[in-house]
Amino acid sequence: MTRLVKTALIGHPVSQSKSPLIHRHWMKKYGIAGSYEAIDIAPENLQAGVQQLIEAGYAGFNVTVPHKQAIFDLCDEVENAAKIIGAVNTVVLKNGRLHGYNTDAYGFIQNIKENAGLPEFMRGPCVVLGAGGGARAVVYALAQAGAQEIIVVNRTLARAQQICEIDNQIMRPVEWDARHDVLMTASLLVNTTSSGMAGKDALDIDLALLPPEAIVSDIVYVPLMTDLLSAAKDRSNKTVTGIGMLLHQARLAFEKWHGVLPDVDQDLERIVLG
């Protein structure tokens, strides 16, 4: 009898997540007998919830808000990238032990590579707006990809300073009021703040000083075309939407559980955006 590879997403809430659609699409495409469910676990039940997954024989699970940091402490082993980023979004379960990974950095850089090309953002500084968990994965990915200078602009400067400790040689914190000045030489601008997300305030930025050849990306993907990306497109900057980061981070998780690195195909984009 074929063994069913059980996987899941844990978070709170999880009902809006696209991850089940993504993983089920790939399991079908690659003929893998498995399951992927979204399981809502409240923060106070995290440890007990994870124990239930171990007992039920799960191969692994994804982790989303608000558990990405808390799961870290429950892992028996955590890969280096996840340690530096400070968050685990993918767990592999082996013999009752939790192995923690972070696939967001891979997802971010792969999305940029496939949609804008990699060398293009090496010409000048990369400007990252925001200093939360998303930003940590983005700056780590940029540094790994060889970015020469990364400018982290955040409303709360102390958080930008903290992120730049990842690599003070190439990362520089900048206060929010100076966000327009740093655009002048930027080769890449990435929004990792929650501004621009459906239901949140608009991102308060004017792109007038941004060079026309700079790439603009948003890790927000609801809406897909954020106001930032629309404004960038209107002035002919190359844009990269946030949906690709979600799809590419999922590839690496899928590979860890099933041993196949799946493709991001047009069917999948249609399913996820539909």
By CB under 6 A, name the binding residues for ligand ATR: 130-135, 154-156, 159, 192-195, 201
What is the chain's length?
274
Indicate which residue of 6, 28, 29, 68 is catalytic: 68
145 φ, ψ (degrees, to nearest 5): -80, -5
**Which among 205, 185, 180 has a CA at the least distance from the CA of 195?**
205
- Counting Cα atoms < 13 Å in the Cβ hemisphere of 77 gives 8
Strand order of the β-sheet with 215-218 is: 171-175, 150-154, 126-129, 188-191, 215-218, 238-240
CB of 47 to ligand ATR, least distance (A): 22
Structure token digits, residue 123: 């010409």
Strand partners, 190: 128, 217
Nearer to ligand ATR, 24 or 159 (CB): 159
Nearer to ligand ATR, 93 or 139 (CB): 139
CA–CA separation, 120 vs 92, rounded Å? 35
CA–CA separation, 19 vs 104, rounded Å? 13
Query: Strands 90-94 and 60-63: what pairing?
Result: antiparallel
CB of 181 to ligand ATR, least distance (A): 16
Helix axes 133-144, 157-164, angle to 10 degrees: 40
Nearer to ligand ATR, 179 or 248 (CB): 179
Q: Name the residue with the smallest CB distance to ligand ATR.
A: 132
Nearer to ligand ATR, 34 or 133 (CB): 133
> DSSP strand E in the chain: where?
5-11, 34-40, 60-63, 77-78, 90-94, 97-101, 126-129, 150-154, 171-175, 188-191, 215-218, 238-240
CA–CA separation, 35 vs 166, rounded Å? 37
Nearer to ligand ATR, 101 or 257 (CB): 101
68 within 8 A of 100, measured Cβ to Cβ:
no
CB of 59 to ligand ATR, least distance (A): 26
Q: What DSSP character marks residue 3?
A: P
CA–CA separation, 136 vs 230, rounded Å? 25
In the residue annotation, 233 being an active-site residue is answered as: no
Which residue numbers are catalytic? 68
